[in-house]
Amino acid sequence: MDSEKLREVREYEIQIGSRIPPEERPAFHLSSRVGWMNDPNGFSFYKGQYHLFYQYFPYNTVWGPCHWGHAVSDDLIHWEYLPAALAPDQDYDKDGCFSGSAVELDDGRQMLIYTGVLKKEMEDGSTRDIQQQCLAFGDGVNYEKYGKNPIMTVDDLPDGCSPYDFRDPKIWIDEDGTYRVVACCATVGRDAKIVMFRSSDGINWSKGKLLIQNFDRFGKVWECPDFFRLDEKWVLLTSPMDMLPEGFEYHNGNGTLCLIGEYNDEDGIFTPQHDQAIDYGIDFYATQTILAPDGRRIMIAWMQNWDTTPGYRLDPTTWFGQMTIPRELSVKNGRLYQRPVRELEQIRRNKVSYENVYVNGEMELDGIRGRCVDMEIELRSADENQPYEMFVMKFAAGGRYYTMLSYHPGDGIMKIDRKFSGSRRAIIHQRRAEIPSKDGAVKIRMILDRYSAEAFINDGAQTITANLYTDMGAQRITFSAKGAVSMNIVKYDLVP
Ligand code: FRU
């Protein structure tokens, strides 16, 4: 049943959202229809289309009580907005419909599972969020909240869990036909735990069982968990809060974590054998995956990070927040690999390629420019006996602006730096990643959209993602090196 709140938001997004000119949005990354966007939610395939919902506060460009925005796509590249799906309009979710996921039921309905939040006043006068899991059923456009919500409360958690961090349920139907949910919770001291629930009908759930506990290794609460089988391994993706840095692998603040290992469904225990960051750039958080009908495991994430959002002064009626390009995942040599979904190749136009370009001073190449671009670059030392010292690519360059990706083979450091991108805030502008190479041989696939850069290094063994809100007049791309680099490059315009 449509509530007043949902009707209002649906009207507001048509009235105000449609005033935003399409050319002032990313060309092929999903951005908020109007106002604020964070985590991807309910990434699913339903009635022949991909559905993507998102954490949404339409009335301002800062976070506020969460709704679920909604968009659909035939190819993961072209998105069409649908009316907002959920509003915080019930007693049990009046302070927010937090992150969750979606599944198709046997009877053909789509079911959303999300975290309902309500604020509770404590004895000492402070307020705490009560977080409980809730359901809504729909036809792909309209959703009705379940009459018996919430369906999971803190009483369903195993012993030793705090009542205040229990959120972000990720649902799937397992190979044995049972419904499964993983959700994040934590000890009272906020040490992360991931808990798994089982159900035969998706509506009545068992008590949760501990899948894994952090024991203080990777930050505090592990938000937005996702757990799946991939290439003979089990993979847990999650976004830990309050990380401490570790070499160039993890950095301070909100981070991302991929654990790869073995899972025993009998005892329900996940045993990781490898850990890594999911992305090594600046703006990447809250991943969610889908198992596509053709068997691909595809991941999408919020192309932003809580630590980089504060401080933008934006008109409240514009958009803020975008998703990454959806990425196909695989596990190779025990690591997570990512590549942009192959559908992106369908919008490649105007191929320009060069081989064995000798780069030492700063140079530009005919036909290599633009802000919506797919480029594959292969670097190696031009002189076998003398590895180059540094390679620099500047993009979104022009006037006072550029963003750069640099590589030092000596210490294996790749750095993204958007200090000169036009940012007027003292947020994080640089990040370094360790990319080992033999004599400087490295491959970079760079996807530029109007307001972002995503670099896939060495066939996707590592990725570096950042957004940049540079004036669209800055279209140049330049290359330079200290020492001599030999570069192959293939570049396409991306024209959705
Ligand atoms: C992650 C997160 C989730 C929560 C949502 C609220 O970015 O904090 O844990 O459900 O955002 O918007």
267 and 149 together in one domain: yes
280 and 201 together in one domain: yes
Last residue of a domain, one of 318, 343, 368: 343
Examine residue 31 and state whether it is found in any structural domain, yes or no.
Answer: no
Quote the tokens at residue 97.
Answer: 């419909």
User: Does 44 sit in the ligand 1 pocket, CB within 6 Å?
Assistant: no
**Domain total of the chain:** 2
> Looking at the chain, how many residues does it have?
496
CATH code where residue 420 lies: 2.60.120.560
Quote the tokens at residue 218.
Answer: 């990777």
299 and 213 together in one domain: yes
- Whole-number Å distance, alpha carbon 248 to ligand 1 midpoint, is 25
User: Does 343 sit in the ligand 1 pocket, CB within 6 Å?
Assistant: no
- Whole-number Å distance, alpha carbon 348 to ligand 1 midpoint, is 34
What number is the average pLDDT over the span 66-89?
A: 98
- Asked whether the predicted pLDDT for residue 311 surpasses 80, the reply is no
Residue whose Cα lies nearest atom 9 of ligand 1: it is: 223
What number is the average pLDDT over the span 142-150?
A: 98
Q: What is the pLDDT of residue 310?
A: 67
At 406-453, the pLDDT tens digits run: 999 999 999 999 999 999 998 999 999 999 999 899 999 999 999 999
Q: Going by DSSP bridges, is the β-strand pair 35-46/319-320 parallel, antiparallel, or unpaired?
A: parallel
Examine residue 86 and state whether it is found in any structural domain, yes or no.
Answer: no
Cis preceding-peptide flag for 150 (omega within 30 of 0) = yes
- Asked whether the predicted pLDDT for residue 309 surpasses 90, the reply is no
Residue 1 — pLDDT band, cuts 50, 70, 90?
A: low
Examine residue 394 and state whether it is found in any structural domain, yes or no.
Answer: yes
User: Does 224 sit in the ligand 1 pocket, CB within 6 Å?
Assistant: yes
Residue 473 — pLDDT band, cuts 50, 70, 90?
A: very high
Examine residue 85 and state whether it is found in any structural domain, yes or no.
Answer: no
- Asked whether the predicted pLDDT for residue 2 surpasses 80, the reply is no
Last residue of a domain, one of 291, 314, 343: 343
Atom of ligand 1 nearest to the CA of 223: 9
Q: Tell me the backbone φ, ψ of residue 307, rounded to 5 degrees.
A: -75, -10
What number is the average pLDDT over the span 34-55?
A: 98
- Asked whether the predicted pLDDT for residue 384 surpasses 90, the reply is no
- Whole-number Å distance, alpha carbon 264 to ligand 1 midpoint, is 29
Quote the tokens at residue 75.
Answer: 């190819």
315 and 396 together in one domain: no
What number is the average pLDDT over the span 83-97?
A: 97
Examine residue 103 and state whether it is found in any structural domain, yes or no.
Answer: yes
357 and 336 together in one domain: no
Quote the tokens at residue 312.
Answer: 């933008």
Atom of ligand 1 nearest to the CA of 254: 7
370 and 329 together in one domain: no
Examine residue 410 and state whether it is found in any structural domain, yes or no.
Answer: yes
Rounded percentage of the chain residues whose pLDDT exceeds 90: 95
Atom of ligand 1 nearest to the CA of 115: 10
- Structural domain range at position 401: 348-494
Examine residue 185 and state whether it is found in any structural domain, yes or no.
Answer: yes
- Asked whether the predicted pLDDT for residue 296 surpasses 60, the reply is yes
Atom of ligand 1 nearest to the CA of 100: 10
- Whole-number Å distance, alpha carbon 422 to ligand 1 midpoint, is 28
Residue to mutate, 38, 41, 95, ligand 1, most ligand atoms under 8 Å from C-beta:
38
- Whole-number Å distance, alpha carbon 42 to ligand 1 midpoint, is 13
Last residue of a domain, one of 343, 370, 400: 343
CATH code where residue 301 lies: 2.115.10.20
Residue to mutate, 98, 118, 132, 182, ligand 1, most ligand atoms under 8 Å from C-beta:
98
User: Does 170 sit in the ligand 1 pocket, CB within 6 Å?
Assistant: no
**Residues labelled catalytic:** 39
Examine residue 249 and state whether it is found in any structural domain, yes or no.
Answer: yes
In this predicted structure, which of 240-249, 370-379, 422-431 has the lowest mean pLDDT?
422-431
DSSP annotation of 147 reads: T
- Asked whether the predicted pLDDT for residue 313 surpasses 80, the reply is no
Q: What is the pLDDT of residue 236?
A: 98
In the predicted model, what is the mean pLDDT of the chain? 96
Q: What is the pLDDT of residue 320?
A: 96
What would the DSSP string read from start to end of 187-231?
A: -TT--EEEEEEEESSSSS-PPPEEEEE-TTSS-S-EEEEEEEEET
Q: Going by DSSP bridges, is the β-strand pair 390-398/373-381 parallel, antiparallel, or unpaired?
A: unpaired
195 and 252 together in one domain: yes
264 and 191 together in one domain: yes
What number is the average pLDDT over the span 156-185?
A: 96
Contact 264, 246 (CB under 8 A): no
336 and 406 together in one domain: no
What number is the average pLDDT over the span 145-151?
A: 98
